[in-house]
């Protein structure tokens, strides 16, 4: 019941967190925003959700996940409703920061759920909980339908989401439970918990998570608009196609937890990065037209990804990031069993900051270069960094697929 109620609650929180992926498009048209401004507006909730993950992880270790999760959800109900009254750009930025508190729920639910299970099942348990990332896909199904039912008015979405959050908070409190032993499992002070930043493993896991989670969040926010601009789809069709990426990226996180339990966090993460590396390389190539002088005269060639091929590649990336998100947290549960909340908060902060910075950079790159696929070029570079770092950190381990039991090499 704890796992089920927590997963449902996290799904709703994530759906709220990704709200701008859909309503941001009509808002952009209303306010006449450029790509960079749209990226900042869409990413603002992600910033707050990232920042609060560290203190929320600490509080979860100290007070227990149930009460922290419940109060967190209640704190977002009014800001979500107020979003429907926003009219100026700064309104959306400020209110979006408060709505973004919902994104911090991951750092509460992860340690809360993990401590109810033995170590050999924690990867699967955290993976099932993390499947709440599918709330991103839920938004892409529900929000366009609500907008269409309201005659094209986007304000109905935050109003419905506000009520849904309130109901979910009540249901979570009703069906979840408290174990006092979990709250007292770590007596570390805030300063002692922050001292874990000195551990190079934490920094490495932050970088991995900024790719598999930060990249996932950024693409979940960006892809609906990408389909509209690149292929000319309607917002409803674009949202459905974007859900082909978002849905497996959330639901299959449980599969990633099972794979990580079976094959180990290192081996799983290594293959995830290679799959993303290949996919992002192909997705990076912009639509190109060039002319070649042949013996029969000039011939023009076109290189472009069709919507079907593009969506298929995104589907593969969604699966890979789902597995990668789980494998990174398997690293954490293996290495820091007594401080899962604190470390998951730090790593979650890095992932959330990736999800905040990347959409802004996506927009800036489009404004500067005029090339929409530049977003995938950027992601390709981040994956290259991860692969190089993993190679040197686990050098000599790849053959056996086993992680080192002690501190990593530098």
What tokens appear for 206 in the block? 């932050």
Q: Which two tokens stand for residue 101?
A: 């508190």
Q: Are 119 and 337 in contact (CB under 8 A)?
A: yes
Q: How far is it, in rounded angstroms, from Cα 152 to Cα 282?
A: 35
Calpha distance 62→187 (Å, rounded): 7
Burial status of residue 297 (CB atoms within 10 A of its CB: 0-12, 13-18, 19 or more): exposed
Q: Residue 175 in contact with residue 326, Cβ under 8 Å?
A: no
Instruction: Return the closest-CA partner of residue 358 out of 185, 223, 165.
Output: 223
CA distance 39 to 46: 11
pLDDT for the residue numbered 110: 83
Buried b (16+ CB within 10 A) or exposed e, 37-65: bbbbbbbbbbbbbbbbbbbbbbbbbbebb
Query: What's the confidence (pLDDT) of residue 181?
Result: 66
Residue 312: which residues within 8 A CB-CB, separation 6 or more? none
Instruction: Please measure the distance between the N-terminal and C-terminal CA atoms of the chain and give it in whole angstroms.
Output: 42
* Structure tokens that stand for 79 in this block: 């800001």
Domain 2-393 has CATH 1.20.1250.20: yes
Other residues' Cβ atoms within 10 Å of the Cβ of residue 189: 11
Query: Residue 291's pLDDT is what?
Result: 87
| pLDDT tens per residue across all 410 residues of the chain | 889 999 999 999 999 998 998 999 999 999 999 999 999 999 899 899 888 887 887 788 778 889 999 999 999 999 999 999 999 999 999 999 999 999 889 888 888 888 888 877 777 787 788 788 888 888 988 999 999 998 889 999 999 999 999 999 999 999 988 877 665 545 556 666 667 777 788 888 888 898 888 898 899 889 999 999 889 899 889 999 998 888 887 778 778 878 888 888 888 888 999 999 999 999 998 888 888 988 888 888 888 889 999 999 999 999 999 898 888 888 887 777 766 767 777 887 888 888 889 999 999 999 999 898 899 999 999 899 888 887 777 765 544 444 443 344 33
**Residue 276: what pLDDT?**
92
Domain ranges of the chain: 2-393
Residue with tokens 């859900």: 243
What pLDDT, on a 0 to 100 scale, did the predictor assign at position 406? Answer: 38
Dihedral through CA 111, CA 117, CA 122, CA 126, nearest 10?
Answer: -50
Q: Is 296 helix (H, G, I), strand (E, B) or coil?
A: coil
């Amino acid at each position: 019941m704890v796992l089920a109620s927590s997963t449902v609650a996290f799904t709703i929180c994530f759906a709220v967190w990704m709200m701008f992926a859909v309503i941001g498009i009509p808002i952009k048209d209303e306010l006449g925003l450029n790509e960079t401004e749209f990226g900042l507006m869409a990413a603002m909730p992600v910033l707050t959700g990232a920042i609060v993950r560290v203190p929320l992880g600490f509080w979860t270790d100290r007070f227990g996940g149930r009460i922290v999760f419940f109060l967190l959800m209640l704190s977002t109900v009014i800001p979500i409703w107020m979003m429907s009254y926003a009219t100026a750009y700064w309104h959306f930025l400020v209110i979006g920061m408060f709505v973004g508190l919902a994104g911090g729920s991951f750092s509460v639910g992860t340690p809360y759920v993990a401590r109810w299970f033995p170590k050999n099942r924690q990867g699967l348990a955290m993976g099932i909980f993390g499947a709440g990332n599918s709330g991103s896909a839920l938004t892409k199904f529900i929000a366009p339908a609500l907008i269409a039912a309201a005659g094209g008015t986007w304000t109905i979405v935050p109003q419905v989401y506000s009520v849904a959050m309130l109901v979910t908070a009540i249901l979570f409190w009703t069906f979840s439970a408290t174990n006092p032993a979990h709250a007292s499992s770590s007596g570390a002070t805030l300063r002692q918990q922050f001292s874990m930043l000195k551990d190079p493993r934490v920094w490495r896991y932050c970088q991995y998570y900024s790719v598999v989670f930060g990249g996932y969040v950024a693409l979940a926010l960006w892809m609906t608009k990408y389909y509209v601009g690149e292929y000319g789809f309607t917002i409803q069709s674009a949202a459905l196609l974007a859900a082909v990426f978002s849905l497996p990226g959330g639901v299959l996180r449980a599969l990633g937890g099972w794979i990580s339990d079976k094959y180990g966090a290192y081996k799983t993460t290594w293959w995830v990065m290679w799959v993303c590396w290949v996919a992002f390389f192909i997705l990076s190539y912009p639509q190109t037209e060039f002319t070649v002088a042949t013996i029969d005269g000039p011939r023009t060639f076109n290189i472009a990804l069709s919507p079907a091929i593009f969506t298929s590649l995104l589907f593969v990336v969604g699966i890979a990031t789902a597995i990668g998100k789980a494998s990174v947290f398997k690293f954490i549960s293996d290495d820091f069993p007594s401080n899962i909340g604190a470390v998951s908060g730090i790593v979650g902060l890095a992932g959330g900051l990736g999800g905040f910075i990347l959409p802004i950079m996506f927009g800036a790159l489009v404004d500067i270069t005029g090339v929409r696929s530049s977003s995938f070029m950027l992601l390709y570079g981040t994956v290259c960094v991860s692969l190089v770092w993993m190679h040197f950190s686990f050098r000599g381990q790849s053959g056996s697929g086993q992680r080192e039991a002690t501190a990593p090499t530098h």
